[in-house]
């Protein structure tokens, strides 16, 4: 299958200026289907050799039995928004925010990220939110081109169906903007993630400082928007994803009908299905299932939806996302390794599986010819201690 990105953008300019050469030896290499004692060599930023044994060549990094894993691939993180707006209505300077965001992700083992940005705005009421994605994307892409980032960045446009200006905002993006994912986000009250209005009220009323009357007005405004524009916005967002050559994702599928619609739209993976029923329907329709690492670590959803562990035990979990806690991604893989008694399978949920879902075929595994994105990890029980992060052979954390 062809990549959704121009060849020149696949992990080249802007993803570390200098490609590193090094060898990791005396390591436990986590490969696709086994853990192998051996050495891994990177030249010019690419994995060029994997050998079995505990020999330590001159000049090699002696890993002393530590695990060596592929760099993590993150498809859905709210982290960039947290950095540019650390508190409601606080607009932080964007360049230092982006640099700090990049460094934070590198420090947690993430070497490829699809930065989630909302498109679709509401311009009235306390629940209003305005257009920011095009400007922020320009700043992010410019910083990348200048070599300011440690890791590889792509864009994930979160298409908010229940909004006023979704299609106009999507139209501002083009195929050269490194848009890898367009997700269909329908936060209309009373369904999907917010079937329980009390959960929505707890989330947004506190964040936006709404009283009961203002919250009621906000709900009515969203319901009216969905009735007036929802179908047009969904169909338009699907077309825009095709124009941008981006992978289409669904969000918060709850019923079999939701999944059937997703399948008809050509969805490649489902973000955070809220029920076992929806996850099972995804499996039947060939749609990969992604769940949040915080859900897995906490033992349940903060919105009262299905627990990621339940899906893992039912063999209905393919990809994990850090969502709103970057450091949870690596930790979640070790939690899955404990559930499944299978470390390679668990690591795949945060490396090769997400890479495949977005058609990035040059990373996500320890394999000759792939990018030298590598982590050195020591396991302390079920807790991973990250001892080093390399992007294209360059140490970034």
Long-range CB contacts for residues 53-60, cutoff 8 Å, separation at least 24: 54/25, 54/26, 55/25, 55/26, 56/25, 56/26, 57/23, 57/25, 59/23, 60/22, 60/23, 60/24, 60/25
What is the reported pLDDT for 256? Answer: 96
pLDDT given for residue 7 in this prediction: 36
Find the length of the chain: 397
φ and ψ at 108, to 5 degrees? -105, 0
Domains and CATH numbers, the chain: 71-361 (3.20.20.140)
Question: Could you tell me the pLDDT band of residue 304, with boundaries at 50, 70 and 90?
Answer: confident
Confidence of residue 1 (pLDDT cuts 50, 70, 90): very low
Looking at per-residue pLDDT, the higher value among 194 and 266 belongs to 266
Band (18; pLDDT cuts 50, 70, 90)? low
Count CB-CB contacts under 10 A for residue 15. Answer: 24
Q: Which two tokens stand for residue 159?
A: 């298409």
- pLDDT digit string (tens) for 273-283? 999 999 999 99
In this prediction, residues 144-154 reach a mean pLDDT of: 97
* Greater pLDDT, 358 or 228: 358
Whether the CB-CB separation of 32 and 367 falls below 8 Å is answered with yes
Report, as an integer, the average pLDDT of 390-395.
Answer: 96
11 vs 101: which has the higher pLDDT = 101
Share of the chain above pLDDT 70, in %: 87
Tens digits of residue pLDDT in 305-327: 899 999 999 999 999 999 999 99
Measured distance between the N- and C-terminal CA atoms of the chain, rounded to whole angstroms:
33
pLDDT at 122: 78
Judge contact between 118 and 164, C-beta under 8 A: no
256-279 as b/e: b if 16+ CB within 10 A: bebbeebbebebbbbbbbbbebbb
Contacts of 396 (CB under 8 A, 6+ apart): 16, 106, 111, 150, 151, 389, 390
Give the pair of three-digit tokens for residue 145: 């081109």
Give 331-357 pLDDT, tens digit per residue.
999 999 999 999 999 999 999 999 999
Between these two residues, 212 and 37, which has the higher pLDDT value? Answer: 37
pLDDT at 253: 95
Decide if 192 contacts 186 (C-beta within 8 A). yes
Structure confidence at residue 13 (pLDDT):
47
Tell me how far apart the alpha carbons of residues 297 and 335 are, in angstroms, rounded to a whole number: 7
Separation in Å, CA 313 to CA 6, 145, 306, 310:
38, 43, 12, 5
C-alpha torsion angle, residues 81, 87, 93, 97 (rounded to 10): -50
Q: So what's the pLDDT on residue 198?
A: 64
- Is residue 27 scored above 80 in pLDDT? yes
* Tally of CB atoms within 10 A around 64: 12
Span 85-133, pLDDT tens digits: 998 778 899 999 999 999 999 999 999 999 999 998 876 655 556 789 9
Phi first, then psi, for residue 346 (nearest 5°) are -65, -45
Q: What is the mean pLDDT of the chain?
A: 89
Cα of 244 vs its chain's centroid, Å = 18
Q: State what percent of residues in the chain have pLDDT above 90.
A: 74
């Amino acid at each position: 299958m062809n990549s959704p990105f121009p060849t020149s953008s696949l992990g080249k300019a802007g993803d570390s200026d200098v490609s590193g050469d090094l060898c990791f030896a005396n390591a436990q290499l986590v490969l696709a289907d086994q853990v192998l004692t051996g050495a891994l060599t990177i030249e010019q930023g690419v994995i060029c050799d994997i050998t079995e044994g505990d020999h330590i060549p001159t000049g090699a990094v002696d890993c002393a039995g530590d695990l060596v894993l592929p760099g993590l691939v993150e498809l859905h993180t709210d982290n960039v928004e947290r950095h540019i707006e650390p508190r409601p209505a606080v607009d932080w300077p964007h360049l230092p925010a982006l640099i700090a965001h990049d460094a934070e992700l590198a420090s947690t083992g993430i070497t490829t990220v699809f930065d989630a940005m909302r498109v679709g705005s509401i311009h009235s009421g306390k629940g209003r939110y305005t257009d920011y994605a095009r400007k922020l994307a320009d700043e992010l892409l410019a910083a990348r081109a200048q070599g300011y980032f440690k890791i590889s960045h792509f864009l994930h446009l979160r298409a908010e169906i229940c909004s006023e200006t979704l299609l106009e905002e999507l139209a501002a993006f083009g195929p050269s903007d490194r848009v890898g994912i367009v997700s269909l986000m329908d936060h209309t009250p009373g369904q999907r993630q917010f079937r329980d209005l009390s959960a929505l009220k707890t989330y947004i009323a506190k964040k936006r400082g709404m009283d009961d009357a203002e919250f009621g007005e906000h709900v009515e405004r969203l319901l009216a928007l969905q009735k007036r524009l929802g179908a047009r916005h969904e169909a338009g967002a699907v077309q825009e994803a095709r124009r941008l050559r981006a992978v289409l994702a669904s969000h918060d599928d709850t019923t079999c009908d939701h999944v059937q619609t997703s399948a008809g739209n050509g969805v490649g993976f489902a973000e955070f299905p809220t029920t076992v029923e929806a996850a099972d329907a995804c499996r039947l329709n060939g749609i990969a299932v992604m769940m949040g690492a915080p859900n897995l670590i906490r033992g349940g959803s903060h919105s009262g939806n299905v627990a990621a562990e339940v899906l893992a035990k039912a063999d209905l979990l393919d990809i994990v996302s850090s969502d709103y806690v970057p450091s949870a991604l690596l930790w979640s893989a070790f939690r899955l390794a404990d559930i499944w008694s299978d470390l390679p399978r668990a690591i795949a949920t945060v490396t090769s599986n997400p890479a495949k879902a977005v058609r990035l075929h040059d990373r996500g595994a320890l394999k000759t010819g792939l990018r030298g994105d590598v982590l050195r990890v020591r396991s302390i029980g079920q807790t991973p201690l990250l001892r080093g992060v390399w992007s294209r052979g360059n140490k970034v954390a």
